[in-house]
């Protein structure tokens, strides 16, 4: 009876880990979409501003509107850079190489086996999947690294949103101040 309960519990744990991994991957997708939206909006703003600024340069200079435009442009470029950092793939060189005898490398993550031949991968996955405890270790390890990457993305996308909102606010405030003063 106790062995049956232990097997049931471990299946439940594995299902919880899988669900958590699926949720983390979905949240990563959401963060990537937010970064894409911020990048697109910022690029569109620069694209629309550039012809307007170039065609009205004398009016902009005489009314000191270059100050809010500079703030807005800097905001857009900064937002684009941060969104690009969020979207940039991780370096695969930082992951474990199972060829070196690192048996902690998860066989479930492509970054750990993409340089292997099919025969090497088959041998490695056979060895790694032979023990239940090793499988659990790899599932937990994968969940941890996905969570770390997700935390990185969410932290940087939040910074990008904060910079974007602050930059829009500052450029609008600067526009009002410049128009009131001149």
- What is the chain's pLDDT, residue by residue, as a tens digit (182 residues)? 444 444 444 777 778 877 888 898 899 899 999 999 999 999 999 999 999 999 999 988 988 999 999 999 999 999 999 999 999 987 655 555 555 555 567 777 777 787 888 888 888 888 887 877 787 788 788 888 888 989 999 999 999 999 999 999 999 999 999 999 98
Residue 64 backbone class (left: φ over 0; alpha: ψ -120 to 50; beta: rest): left
Please count the residues of the chain.
182
Angle at 70 between CA 64 and CA 71, to 5 degrees: 110
The residue with tokens 């060895």 is 127
Q: Are the CB atoms for 35 and 83 separated by under 8 Å?
A: yes
Cα separation of the two ends of the chain: 85
Cα–Cα distance for residue pair 96/91, rounded to 1 Å = 12
pTM of the model: 0.77
């Amino acid at each position: 009876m106790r062995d049956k309960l232990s097997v049931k519990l471990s299946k439940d744990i594995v299902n919880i880990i899988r669900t958590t991994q699926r949720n983390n991957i979905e949240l990563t997708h959401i963060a990537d979409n937010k970064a894409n939206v911020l990048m697109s909006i910022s690029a569109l703003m620069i694209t629309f501003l550039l012809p307007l600024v170039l065609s009205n340069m004398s009016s902009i200079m005489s009314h000191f509107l270059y100050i809010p435009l500079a703030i807005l442009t800097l905001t857009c470029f900064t937002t684009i850079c941060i969104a690009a950092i969020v979207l940039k793939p991780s370096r695969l060189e930082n992951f474990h190489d199972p060829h070196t005898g690192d048996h902690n490398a998860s066989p479930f993550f492509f970054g750990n086996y993409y340089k292997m031949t099919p025969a090497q991968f088959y041998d490695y996955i056979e060895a790694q999947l032979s023990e239940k405890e090793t499988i659990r270790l790899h599932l937990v390890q994968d969940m941890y690294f996905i969570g770390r990457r997700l935390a990185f993305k969410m932290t940087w996308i939040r910074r990008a949103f904060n910079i974007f909102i602050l930059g829009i606010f500052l450029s609008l405030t600067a526009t009002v101040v410049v128009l009131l003063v001149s």
